[in-house]
Chains A and B, each alone.
Chain A
Amino acid sequence: MNAQQPVRIVMVEDDEGHARLIEKNIRRAGISNDLTHFLDGTSALDYLFNNPEGPAQNGPALVLLDLNLPDMSGTDILAKIKGDERLHRTPVVVLTTTDDKVEIARCYDLGCNVYITKPVNYESFADAIRQLGLFLSVIQVPDVEA
């Protein structure tokens, strides 16, 4: 098992501004892992499952997932990841504006690892992302081959 293979961060986020803010704050937290950004669900799924560089074929990854996507619901992507034999161990962090309890419960039921509500208050937002960065730096992401 190759423990040194870096964890790739896959971000599915339709709002470019949010994506930019998330990336900035992750970098500020000192995380330098590769980050691939997708604006819609279809291309993200394609990358996750079919791209030779993608986590299904190659190496561990962590998914940052927004629930409100233009072409599908983030929960569909979550269900697909957690239902796939190769990807079901990939940590998924749901990072979205929805703070509806039902939605949160549904995401955890589907196997999401962390659910974070994007706070409008920027300090809290930056804080949350930086903590996520810390979280990323300490977790051991299982290798898909493991």
Chain B
Amino acid sequence: MAQPLTDDRRFTRNAGLALAAGFGLVLVALILVAMTYDNARRLNDRVEHTHRITDNLSQLILAVERNETATRGYLLSPAPLRIQTRRDALARIGPLLTDLRRQLADNPEQARRLDALRPLIREQVATTETLMGMALAGDFTGAQAEFGRRVLVRRIEDIRAEIGKMQAVEAELLRQRIARESGNRDILQAILLLTALLFMAVGVATYLLVRRYTSDLAAARDRLHLLNTDLEAAVAERTADLRRANEEIQRFAYIVSHDLRSPLVNVMGFTAELDSANWQIAGLIDRVEKENPDLLTPADRTAALEDLPEAVGFIRSSTQKMDRLINAILDLSRQGKRVLAPQELDMKEVLTDIAHSLDTLATERGAHFVVEEPLPTIRHDRLAIDQIFSNLMENATKYLVPGRPGVISVRGKLRGKRAIFEVQDNGRGIAPEDTERVFELFRRAGAQDQAGEGIGLANVRALAYRLGGTVSLRSALGEGSTFVVDLPVEFAEEGKIK
């Protein structure tokens, strides 16, 4: 399970990085598009600029030629229209030149040419001015002669040639700029295409990722659901197994202890028969001793009057002890089968009752109980609680330090959903290495000077476990012991943890 998880994590990280990179690329592409577009606009401006220059040049040559033609025409056939035409043409030359000068400021070569053109045009205009002046004064013949002499035509051709050169330069520039513009457009198209592709790629990747995550999520949810169901089933199965095992153990304990009793009845019974037979023999020995002492050896006497009764006595006491142990196991297994019936228990009442019932015994042993209030109210099986506390309290009176009056304090408090009770004595205490052992069946601690089978505490612990609680022990040798009973305030159904 761990391996796919790290793989998943790596995938998620890589996918995230790839997506971020994709979006980054898209951003770069967009910036490129913007830049290329800007460049295209600038290039376009340049092309327009060139167009305008070419246009202006054409208009300039047109205006110069018009002036020339109008002047010549007037000389041949003076008409006021021609004067007007000429004036219009002349009026345009000045602004056109200014315009061109400004427009060609970025192109020193063309600007130089324009500067070279200026004196030519000025000279030509001055010539037409002179001719026109003569014609207006009525000297047509003189003007015509002057016209022939001044070779106006050649001058205009120079101008035409010069402007033609400039136009050629501009045409070349235009060609270059258009080429550059179209190159730029190609780049823009490529970038746009690339961006579109990128967009698509990122989109597809995002879609796939989202789909993968969604299906992963759905699968995880399904698996979780399945696991939950499985877990519940597994827990139920285990619980059933445990319960079965527990029942098995109880049945086993019951059957074993029960079947052990049967031979014990025989041992006890025939021991009693032996005993009564022995009385007969003892009587016989007595009679023989009186009537014919010679028949009797000391060994016969010892066998009949000492060895036999001693043997019978040991058999009997051992069998009785065995019987008590078997009964204890039977009791324990029977208690395990008992159905618990929880009810409200005022612990002050319960513990005071127990203290009262044990009072006589405690006084005999030189101890007394102190039930400290307040005590909580809990909800548990009455009999089980009674057994737990009467066992602990009776135990406390049992192991006192000789000469020290026994004081047994019982107290209790609530801590959250737990009720914690303490049974404290000032008796002889239990050695640290024995604090767990005392809870084991048939085990006891310290000097074995009190009657008992070592069952009480085992029973107390078993009962506390059944009620969902624990019993623990704090003790210092010679100072006393404190048994701590930690129970849930309310008894939950057995085998269920609340």
Subset of 11 A-B contacts with CB under 8 Å: A17-B265, A17-B266, A18-B269, A21-B265, A21-B269, A21-B273, A97-B265, A100-B334, A120-B319, A120-B323, A121-B268
A125 at the interface (CB under 8 A from B): yes
Q: Do A122 and B262 have beta carbons less than 8 Å apart?
A: no
A24 at the interface (CB under 8 A from B): yes
B271 at the interface (CB under 8 A from A): yes
Q: Do A118 and B265 have beta carbons less than 8 Å apart?
A: yes
For the complex formed, measure the closest distance between the CB of B323 and the CB atoms of chain A, giving whole angstroms: 4
Q: How far is the CA of A119 from the CA of B334 in the complex (A)?
A: 18
1/0 per residue A90-120: CB within 8 Å of B? 0000000110100000000000000000111
Known: A120-B319, A120-B323, A121-B323. Contact between A68 and B272, CB under 8 A? no
Q: Do A15 and B272 have beta carbons less than 8 Å apart?
A: no
Q: How far is the CA of A97 from the CA of B266 in the complex (A)?
A: 12
Number of contact residues on B: which range applies? 10 to 19
Q: How far is the CA of A100 from the CA of B257 in the complex (A)?
A: 12
The total number of A-B Cβ pairs within 8 Å is 52
Q: How far is the CA of A125 from the CA of B319 in the complex (A)?
A: 14
Q: Do A122 and B258 have beta carbons less than 8 Å apart?
A: no
Set of chain B residues within 8 Å of A100, measured between Cβ atoms: 254, 334
Nearest opposing residue in chain B for A15, CB measure: B262
Nearest opposing residue in chain B for A98, CB measure: B258
Q: Do B261 and A122 have beta carbons less than 8 Å apart?
A: no
Q: How far is the CA of A121 from the CA of B317 in the complex (A)?
A: 11
Residue from the list B258, B272, B273, B320 in contact with A97, Cβ < 8 A: B258
Nearest opposing residue in chain B for A102, CB measure: B337
**B-contacting residues, A110-143, CB 8 Å:** 118-123, 125-126
Known: A97-B258, A98-B258. Contact between A122 and B264, CB under 8 A? no
For the complex formed, measure the closest distance between the CB of B297 and the CB atoms of chain A, giving whole angstroms: 32
Q: Do A18 and B266 have beta carbons less than 8 Å apart?
A: yes
Q: Do B323 and A122 have beta carbons less than 8 Å apart?
A: no
Nearest opposing residue in chain A for B269, CB measure: A21
Q: How far is the CA of A98 from the CA of B334 in the complex (A)?
A: 12
**B-contacting residues, A15-39, CB 8 Å:** 15, 17-18, 21, 24
B270 at the interface (CB under 8 A from A): yes
Q: Do B261 and A97 have beta carbons less than 8 Å apart?
A: yes
Q: How far is the CA of A143 from the CA of B264 in the complex (A)?
A: 37
Q: Do B266 and A15 have beta carbons less than 8 Å apart?
A: yes
Set of chain A residues within 8 Å of B270, measured between Cβ atoms: 17, 21
Q: Choose among B254, B261, B320 the residue with the greatest number of A CB atoms under 10 Å from its CB.
A: B261
1/0 per residue A30-55: CB within 8 Å of B? 00000000000000000000000000
For the complex formed, measure the closest distance between the CB of A55 and the CB atoms of chain B, giving whole angstroms: 27
